[in-house]
Amino acid sequence: MKTNDVILQTTTKVVFFIIFLFSIHIFFAGHYTPGGGFVGGLLTTGAIVLLLLAFDLKTVQLALPFNFTVVTAIGLLLALGTAAGAIVFDVPFFTHAFDYFELPLFGKTSLHTAMLFDSGVYLVVVGSAITIIQSIGGDD
Amino acid sequence: MNIFYSVCLVLVILSMLGLLYRVWKGPSIPDRLIALDAIGVMLISAIALLSILFDTPFFIDVILLIAIMSFIGTVSFSKFIERGEIIERGSDR
C-alpha cells in the first residue's frame, strides 16, 4: 500500500535534532543535575527510533552506517578501560580522578574521568537498545 | 498562591480521570490512543505544577522527556493502526 507521510517525515527531520541535542545536554549535565549516561542513551535511542518510524530500516542503516553490536563493544571497552586505568597509577580499581583545566573556549572547566565511564554507559545503552529494536522490527 | 496551584493540580487530575474513562470506555482504538496522548499532556502539566509546588527546577527535564516519549509512542501506535507494521523493512516507494 502506497501511503503519503510527508508530514511525518518533515516533522521528523526537525524533531530528530531537537531530541538528539536534548540527549547530549542530559548526558553532559548528568554530574550536577538529574540525567547521565543511561537517560541520554535512551533519548538518543528514541531519536533513532523516530527515524526508523518515519523512514524504513534500510534508509536508517544507510544514514547511520554503524554496526550497533560493535558500538556496544566499544562502550564496554571504554567503561572497563576507565576502571582499569586506575591500576596504572597505583590506586585501587575504579578510582576516579578529576582536576580543573583552562580550556580555550570554555574557560575553567572541571574534567572528571567519571565522564569517560558515563560515555561508555551511553554507548552500551544506545548499542544494545538499537540492536534489540532493529532485530525485532526487521522481522518479516 | 499555593492554594491556587493545588486547585490547578486537582483540576488536572480530574481531567485525567475523565480521559481514563475514555480509555476504558472508548468504542474504537483511535479513541483510546488519543485519550492516552492527552493523558501524556496532562501528566506534563501535573509535573510542571508539582515542580512549582516543590519549588525545584529539576523536573523541567522530565517534562521535555515525557513530551518526547509521548510523541514517539503516539506516532508508533498510529503507524501500527494504519499499516499493521511499525518499522518497515525496505523502501517500496
Strands A107-112 and A98-103: antiparallel
Record: contact A1-B65, CB cut-off 8 A: no
Of A53, A54, A59, Cβ closest to residue B91: A59
Question: From the CA of A84, how many Å to the nearest CA of chain B?
Answer: 33
Specify whether the CB–CB gap between A79 and A124 falls below 8 A.
Answer: yes
Closest-CA residue to A96 (of A117, A114, A110, A81):
A114
Residues 6+ apart with CB under 8 A from A99: A110, A111
- pTM value is 0.87
pLDDT string in tens for chain A (140-residue length): 567 789 999 999 999 999 999 999 999 988 888 888 899 999 999 999 999 988 888 888 888 888 899 999 999 999 999 888 888 888 888 888 887 877 787 778 888 888 889 999 999 999 999 999 988 876 65
Alpha helices in chain A (DSSP H): 6-28, 37-54, 57-63, 68-88, 114-137
ipTM of the complex: 0.84
